[in-house]
Structure 1
Amino acid sequence: MKKLNQVIIAAAGLAMVFAVVTSAYAQRKPPELSDEEIQKIKDAAPEAATAKPAKPRKILVFWRCEGFFHGAGIASGNKAFEVMGEKTGAYTTVSSDDMSMFDPDKLNEFDAVIFNNTTALAFADPEQRKALLEFVNGGKGIVGTHSSVDNFYKWPEGAAMMGALFAGHPWGEAPVKLDDPKHPLLKVFDGKAFWVRDEMYKMRDPYSREKLRVLLSFDMSKLPENAPSREDRDNAIAWIQEVGKGRMFYCSLGHNKHIFWDPALLQFYLDGIQYALGDLKADATPSAKLNPQPEPVLPPAK
């Protein structure tokens, strides 16, 4: 009996520790940005939206992490999305890490959801899963930054909505290829491919060019033959897809705060957001189904 009591007490103690850790974890907040960092975001933000909004737009910027916490990317992304909306009039934002925002009565107030560096989200509540799928399939928008593909491992419909799942980050720099240089969402790059420093992701299923319009990807010809890669060497960075009547835009750039100080990348994000909102029209035919295939633009050798 004494041994049983010890086991019970030990189990209770572990449960209390787990509860405390979970509670503290859930309470993490993004770091405060300095005035200088905020000014860099403001200076980089576009002066005007590419498309005129069809109506006033409201976006939920959601940054909850139940796994790794991308503090700098969350703080900088949250501020960048807020500033771009205010500066251009393309939308307004509400920032939150509260899962109750996906209750149907709250979610339906928004025109799009930006999953900003979220991790390990399970969406365990069936009603919230249903609400989110109905939200996007009914004609609204989903935007994902960086680690937003590091979620939904036990929710296939959620993973399909994002277009891929995270499979590692073996690179710190990437030669970025314009897969579809004449696509409206790539206009900001003016036909010029580039290199970028960030935590770069490798993707796994459900990623497929049969389902996604890939906009940016690694130029693997600029990397050694033995460089880390998917087996098919198709390492995508950004894509769009239609989800029912709705639209989804994803870009893996956004681990480091300097990504949100880059004028071209902020314009790219703004255009992707406007696509997801339905205000910027763009073809989302999956890349594998294009005929003829677009001629990609490759970055210069380094």
Structure 2
Amino acid sequence: METRRRTSLYCLSLLVAMAAATSVWAQHTPPTLSEKEMRQIGDALPAKATVAPAAPRKVLLFWRCEGFFHGDGIAAGNKAVEMMGEKTGAFTVVTSDDMSMFDPDKLNAFDAVIFNNTTNLAFENPVHRQALLDFARNGKGIVGTHSSVDNFYKWPEGAAMMGALFAGHPWGEAPVKLDDPEHPLLKAFGGKGFWVQDEMYQMRDPYSREKLRVLLSFDMSKLPADAPTREDKDNAIAWVQQVGKGRVFYCSLGHNRNIFWDPAILQFYLDGIQYALGDLPADATPSAALNPQPQPALPPAKSK
């Protein structure tokens, strides 16, 4: 009788665990944007591609979350990228959260992968790991928004490809400086730093200016002296890097929906995507190797 009872309890606990797992994945459905939000995105999008694509471009817009689910950023980010491709003609989009998209025969049909607010991706299948590394190293593009650095904790090559790992978000507003105002990917901001409200990330290794061309970062002089920060006070927001023959563009802006109806930020994302696709030339020399160092464009003092 006791054995039967234990068996029943085990079966019940197994069913509960399976149901819990199913419910977690069932929650991973992006919220629906309102008609007003859709209009705001459409109105803010660039009217045309920054440069004409050299060939028809196809991107995989990937939003799978195996950790925290950034529903707002996924919903608005996915829609912004989809509408951007349609409006500008710079690329076409396939949107998915299915890991089988990284099967080599499927992945190689794309010119770039955009990781939109993905979290805790492990890429446990070694075939998928190698396929993604080969994809980048052989000349394709990788784009990351916001929490795409919150992945690959047990896969050093994947973290190095993205450029950094997430180390917290101690700020909700940031004074943003243009580290290299003359860089072609920063034209969207007109040579001026700015303030932004979003969930602002702090990075940890493998982040390094020895490897990355940092485009945007915090102007720490505009924050209180006791503001949380890295020991070196180097808090990057966006960067590019070359990985083999391929190109990587990352920007941490994209937690809040309103980021994706900011005209300058959408232009910045378009330029970054076109860079990753190989259509918009831009220098990816690591920041530490630049001589002379560029003079950054600082944001204004915060208005009271």
Change in Cα spacing, 1:248 to 1:30, as seen in structure 2 (3 Å) is: same
**For residue 240 of structure 2, what is the aligned residue in structure 1?**
240
CA distance in 2, matches of 1:297, 1:178: 5
Q: For residue 100 of structure 2, what is the aligned residue in structure 1? A: 100
CA drift at 1:130 = 0.7
Q: 1:59 — aligned with what?
A: 59
Q: Where does residue 73 of structure 2 map in the other structure?
A: 73
How many angstroms apart in 1 are the aligned matches of 2:202 and 2:298? 19
**Equivalence for 2:166:** 166
Is 2:260 aligned against 1:272?
no
Q: Matches of residues 279-298 of structure 1 in structure 2 within 5 Å?
A: 279-298=279-298
Closer, same or farther: CA 221–105 of 1 in aligned 2, 3 Å: same
Provide the TM-score with structure 1 as the length reference. 0.97
Looking at structure 2, the residues matched to 298 and 10 of structure 1 have their Cα atoms a distance apart, in angstroms, of 63
1:16-165 matches, within 5 Å, as 16-27=15-26, 28-165=28-165
Alpha-carbon distance between aligned partners in 2 of 1:270 and 1:245, rounded to the nearest angstrom: 21
Corresponding residue of 1:228: 228
Identity within the alignment, %: 74
How far apart are residue 26 of structure 1 and its match? 2.0
* 1:167-224 residue CA offsets vs partner (Å, 9 max, x unmatched): 0000000000100110000011111100000000000000000000000000000011
Instruction: State the secondary structure of the residue aligned to 1:69.
Output: coil
One-letter code of the match for 1:203?
A: M
| Inter-CA distance 125–227: structure 2 relative to 1 (3 Å threshold) | same
Query: What runs of 5+ residues in structure 1 fail to find an aligned partner?
Result: none
Q: 1:106 to 1:222 in 2, by over 3 A?
A: same
Quote the residue 2:206 is aligned against: 206
3-state DSSP of counterpart to 1:25: helix
- Distance verdict in 2 for CA 1:222–1:36, change over 3 Å: same
> In the TM superposition, what is the alpha-carbon distance from 1:34 to its structure 2 partner?
1.1
Residue 8 (structure 1) shift: 5.5
TM-score, normalization by structure 2: 0.96
> 1:164 is aligned with what amino acid?
A
Query: Against the structure 1 CA distance between its residues 290 and 91, is the aligned structure 2 distance closer, same or farther, given a 3 Å change threshold?
Result: same
Determine the C-alpha separation between the residues in 1 that align with 2:16 and 2:246.
Answer: 42
Deviation digits for residues 92-111 of structure 1, max 9, x if unmatched?
Answer: 00100111111111111100
- Residue 9 of structure 1 and its aligned partner are, at CA, apart by 4.9
Q: Residue 76 of structure 2 aligns to which amino acid in structure 1? A: S
Q: Secondary structure at the match of 1:206?
A: coil
CA distance in 1, matches of 2:113, 2:293: 31
Q: Which amino acid aligns with 1:277?
A: L
State the 1:298 CA deviation: 0.7
1:22 match: secondary structure: helix
Amino acid across the alignment from 2:274: Q
Pick closer, same or farther for the CA change 1:122–1:15 going to 2, 3 Å. farther
Matching residue's letter, 1:156: P
| Structure 2 counterpart SS, 1:131 | helix
Q: Residue 236 and residue 10 in structure 1: after superposition, are their counterparts in 2 closer, same or farther (change >3 A)?
A: farther
In structure 1, what residue type is equivalent to 2:24?
Answer: Y
Give, in angstroms, the shift of residue 148 of structure 1: 0.4
Describe the superposition over 1:141-188 as per-residue Cα deviations: whole angstroms up to 9, x where unpaired.
000000000000001011001000000000000000100110000011
For residues 5 and 292 of structure 2, the distance between their equivalents in structure 1, rounded to whole angstroms, comes to 71
Residues paired across the two proteins, number: 301
CA deviation map 1:36-69 (0-9, x unaligned):
1111000000001111101000000000001111
Q: 2 CA distance for matches of 1:11 and 1:255?
A: 40
SS at match of 2:41: helix
Shift of 1:25: 1.9
2: distance between equivalents of 1:22 and 1:254? 27
Shift of residue 285, structure 1, vs aligned partner: 0.3
1:189 corresponds to = 189
Q: Equivalents in 2 of 1:159, 1:8: separation in Å?
A: 43
